[in-house]
């Protein structure tokens, strides 16, 4: 299978998957026994105001009719208007998605930088005290709630040591948006001070994402490296007298990276959708806090918009993983 057919295959499956996802979320959102018209009309609205809002937003029409109408609008590129922010959903998402992407990307990168070397180290020193310690640490990091990690990092690095900011995305006014990723935009603007400020704000939330993510990556890398170490090819390379460093970093790691990259893709997708808590703790203005608020306020269009957005990001990250695997291990490519 070549790269084009991988992309084509993914796209063929992408649309029905997304449609199914939207249908499930559409129904689930409406099972909750709350009336979005009551919330949209405001805390002090009269019964007439509520009814008028319900009519205007079409919440009293049959579910199927509402869903078909929604899909028609989506096909036209209109995700609707948020009843809470009173803005087009697409605009709300565009304002928040870059913050989440920047955080997730840095977090996953850090997870890879932590997880891959430690996984290799753990496998190469199998059953040593180092291996046991690393495995124990990884279980703890996977098991502990992210908000607890976030708060401990805040207490240590912000409150006790005073090294890093407690929350927020930047100290002052963001640079002119080119990519809307503040670190990149600061560099493009040639403002080192702003770049460092953005980086300082990124450290703790990204580390909160990276620690459990890195633990997952470490465990998978360890398993993959152990498989590779015992493979006939490695036995052959050892017999040939190749230096151990070359065997480890050139052959074993390359073979192990296939499953590690798959894991990184999954960690990226999970981090995008699971950033709610971390964004709330670090006051990170991303998609997570928007999603949480939309769910709480039964802002149906916004919930659907976030789902659609997360689904697309997830699909793209999976596609990139597939392509990356082809680069790492081209044996399957014709």
Partner 1 sequence: MTTSRRNALKLGLLCLALLAGGGTESASAQARNKFVFANSSAFDSLDPHTVFDQGRAAVRFNLYDGLYRFVDNPPKLIPWLAESHTVSDDRKTYTFKLRPDARFHDGTPVTSADVAYSVERIIALRKGPASFYLDLIKPGTTQTPDPHTVIFNLATPSALFLTTVPDILVVNSTLVKSREKDGDWGAGWLARNEAGTGSYVLRRYEPAIGWTGQRFAEHFAGWAGQPIDEVEFRTVLETNTRVLGLMRGDFDGADGLPYDQILRLKQSPNVQILEQESMRIFLLALNNSKPLMNDVHFRRALAYSFDYDGFIKNIMKDSVTRNPGPNPVTIWGSPAGLKGYSFDLAKAREELAQVKQPLRKISINSLAGYSESEQAAVLFQGALRQIGVEADIDVTPWPVVASRFAKAETQADVTPVWRSTFYVDPNNWVGEGFGTRYHGTRTMSYYSNPEFDQLLDRALLTSDHEERRMLYEKMTQIVSDDAAGIFIYNTRWYGPYSTRVSGIRFSPASNGNDIRWASIKR
327: buried, middle or exposed (CB in 10 Å: 19+, 13-18, 0-12)? Answer: exposed
Binding residue for partner 1 (CB under 8 A) from 22, 26, 36, 253?
36
Q: Is 178 or 235 the residue whose CB approaches partner 1 more closely?
A: 178
Q: Is 44 or 230 the residue whose CB approaches partner 1 more closely?
A: 44
Beta carbons within 10 angstroms of residue 283's beta carbon = 14
Q: Minimum CB separation from partner 1 for residue 333, in Å?
A: 35
Rule CB under 8 A: which of 274-293 touch partner 1?
A: 280-283, 285-286, 289-290, 293
Residue span 200-239 as binding mask against partner 1, x where in contact by CB under 8 A, dash where not = x--x------------------------------------
Q: Minimum CB separation from partner 1 for residue 4, in Å?
A: 38
Residue span 119-138 as binding mask against partner 1, x where in contact by CB under 8 A, dash where not = --------------------
Closest CA to 291 of 119, 161, 96, 78: 96
Residue partners of 200: CB distance under 8 A and separation at least 6: 164, 165
Closest CA to 19 of 280, 284, 312: 312
Q: Minimum CB separation from partner 1 for residue 104, in Å?
A: 16
Distance CA 27, CA 178 (A): 37
Q: Is 159 or 239 the residue whose CB approaches partner 1 more closely?
A: 159
- Binding flag, residue 21, partner 1 (CB under 8 A): no
Beta carbons within 10 angstroms of residue 166's beta carbon = 15
- Binding flag, residue 165, partner 1 (CB under 8 A): yes
DSSP letters of 209-264?
HHHHHHHHHHHHHHHHHHHHHTSHHHHHHHHTT--HHHIIIIIIHHHHHHHHHHHH
Would you call 272 helix, strand, or coil by DSSP?
helix
Cα 23 to its chain centre, rounded Å, is: 22
- Binding flag, residue 191, partner 1 (CB under 8 A): no
Residues of this chain that bind partner 1 (CB under 8 A): 32-36, 38-39, 41-50, 52-53, 82, 84-87, 92, 95-96, 99, 151, 154-155, 158-159, 161, 163-169, 171-173, 193, 196-197, 199-200, 203, 280-283, 285-286, 289-290, 293, 296-298
């Amino acid at each position: 299978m070549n790269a084009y057919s991988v992309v084509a295959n993914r796209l063929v499956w992408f649309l029905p998957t997304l449609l199914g996802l939207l249908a499930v979320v559409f129904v689930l959102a409406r099972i909750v026994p709350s009336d979005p018209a009551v919330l949209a009309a405001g805390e002090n609205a009269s019964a007439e105001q509520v009814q008028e809002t319900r009519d205007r937003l079409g919440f009293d029409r049959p579910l199927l009719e509402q869903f078909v109408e929604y899909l028609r609008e989506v096909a036209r590129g209109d995700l609707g208007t948020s009843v809470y922010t009173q803005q087009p959903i697409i605009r709300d998402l565009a304002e928040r998605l870059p913050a989440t992407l920047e955080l997730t990307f840095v977090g996953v990168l850090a997870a890879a930088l932590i997880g891959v070397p430690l996984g290799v180290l753990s496998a190469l020193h199998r059953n040593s005290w180092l291996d046991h310690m690393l495995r124990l640490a990884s279980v703890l990091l996977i098991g502990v709630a992210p908000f607890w990690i976030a708060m401990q990092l805040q207490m240590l690095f912000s409150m006790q040591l005073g090294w890093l900011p407690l929350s927020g995305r930047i100290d002052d006014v963001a640079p002119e948006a080119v990519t809307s990723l503040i670190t990149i935009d600061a560099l493009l603007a040639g403002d080192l001070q702003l770049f460092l400020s953005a980086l300082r704000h990124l450290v703790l939330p990204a580390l909160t994402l990276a620690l459990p993510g890195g633990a997952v990556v470490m465990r998978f890398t360890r398993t993959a490296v152990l498989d590779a170490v015992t493979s006939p090819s490695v036995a052959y390379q050892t017999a040939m007298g190749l230096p151990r460093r070359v065997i480890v970093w050139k052959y074993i790691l390359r073979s192990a990276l296939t499953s590690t990259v798959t894991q990184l893709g999954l960690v990226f997708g999970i981090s995008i959708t699971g950033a709610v808590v971390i964004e709330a703790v670090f006051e990170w203005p991303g998609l997570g806090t928007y999603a949480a608020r939309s769910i709480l306020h039964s802002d149906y269009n916004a919930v659907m918009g976030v789902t659609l957005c997360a689904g697309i990001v997830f699909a793209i990250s999976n596609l990139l993983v597939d392509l990356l695997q082809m680069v790492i291990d081209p044996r399957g490519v014709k």
